[in-house]
Amino acid sequence: MEFAPQKLLKMIDENKKNTNMYLKILESYVNMSIYYQSAIDEIETKLKIIDRELSYHETIGRANMLHQVQSRVKSFESILKKLERKNLMYSPEIVEKELLDIAGIRIICSYIDDIYLILNSLSQQSDITILEVEDYIKEPKESGYRSLHAILEIPVFFFKETRKLKVEIQFRTIAMDFWASLEHGLRYKMTTTEPELAKRLISSALTIATMEEEMLAIRNEIEQQKLNASNNR
């Protein structure tokens, strides 16, 4: 059955979450969230294996390329609000078909090249399909925001069925995450659109990007020096 998200959101606002209809619909969300959490678990396991292997790789050999991994399943209320914006009804089938970010993982890497290395490794795995990539590193948003977003599809094996589920992965470096986190809080506090402050936020993003490129260049030079020293032994 399909339900209007506006009606369900109104029930939440009016604190009528104990009605039989709401509880039944909420149960469908809980069951659905189990599937998506399992998809997150599958991807996170793959990431741990990739990170472990790359830390001992003969030519790469950098430990902790994955600085941090965060994950979440979109809340019931957030799903309803997104469906409302898209003028869609609520049902588990509609959610699975129309929304790509129910399962979300944020990967924080140390350097930009780590991001592309890990994404490439995931893309070569036979059970993963890359459905979509939005690269805001090569082409940052007007606000200065930089990140790489990828939608993956992965089969998850359950007790009596196998389901292909979509997971959104957001890649950031430590520097990108620093800027994005602070920028989000600052924009939330801005009561109006203030062009001068917006320009300063963009300028700070460019400064951080320049610094990040310099840190990467320094790392590459150090690694090259170590490689030359090893070859000369």
DSSP 93-120: HHHHHH-S-SEEEEEEESSHHHHHHHHH
Our answer to whether residue 221 is catalytic in this structure is no
- Report the candidate in 155, 215, 206 with the shortest Cα–Cα distance to residue 179: 206
Contacts of 78 (CB under 8 A, 6+ apart): none
Q: How far is CA 81 from CA 39, 95, 102, 136, 189, in A?
A: 23, 12, 13, 25, 22
Choose, from 53, 134, 139, 168, the residue flagged as catalytic: 168
What is the CA angle 214-119-107, rounded to 5? 70
User: What number of helices (H) and strands (E) belong to the chain?
Assistant: 7, 5
Sign of torsion over alpha carbons 21, 24, 30, 32: negative
Residues designated as active site: 168
